[in-house]
């Protein structure tokens, strides 16, 4: 199994909206990627919660049964359609894939 974790720090303002609005839109768009390929076992998008410690604004936690399933997700048109928006609103990104 492959775990795929991505965190984003968002710009204060981008795409005509503030950080909170862009975080909500990022989550909405990424939530649309859940279940788009066979072998996706888990897919969860969460936003930083007020009052709790967070150095990033959004996180994706996902699990795939294989490297091939993760690659299929990365290449899927629904996923590819989300990338330009995220790229335009993000200040930073961290990613880690690991096998368990």
pLDDT of residue 1: 98
pLDDT of residue 31: 98
- The angle subtended at Cα 8 by Cα 44 and Cα 20, nearest 5°, is 85
- What lies within 8 Å, CB to CB, of 71 at 6+ separation is none
pLDDT of residue 56: 97
- In angstroms, the CA 29 to CA 45 distance is 10
The answer to whether domain 2-99 has CATH 3.40.50.12160 is no
pTM of the complete model: 0.94
Query: Could you report the per-residue pLDDT of 34-73, keeping only the tens digit for each?
Result: 999 999 999 999 999 988 899 999 999 999 999 999 999 9
pLDDT of residue 55: 94
- In angstroms, the CA 66 to CA 76 distance is 15
What are the boundaries of each domain within the chain?
2-99
Give phi and psi for 24, each to the nearest 5.
-60, -40
Query: Could you report the per-residue pLDDT of 2-37, keeping only the tens digit for each?
Result: 999 999 999 999 999 999 999 999 999 999 999 999
């Amino acid at each position: 199994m492959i775990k795929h974790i991505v965190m984003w720090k968002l710009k204060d303002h981008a795409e005509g909206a503030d950080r909170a609005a862009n975080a909500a839109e990022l989550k909405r768009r990424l939530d649309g990627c859940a279940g788009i390929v066979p072998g996706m076992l888990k897919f969860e998008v969460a936003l930083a919660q007020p009052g709790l410690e967070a150095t990033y604004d959004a996180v994706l936690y996902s699990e795939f049964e294989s490297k091939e399933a993760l690659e299929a997700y990365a290449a899927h048109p629904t996923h590819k359609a989300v990338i330009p928006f995220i790229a335009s609103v993000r200040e930073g990104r961290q990613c880690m894939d690991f096998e368990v």
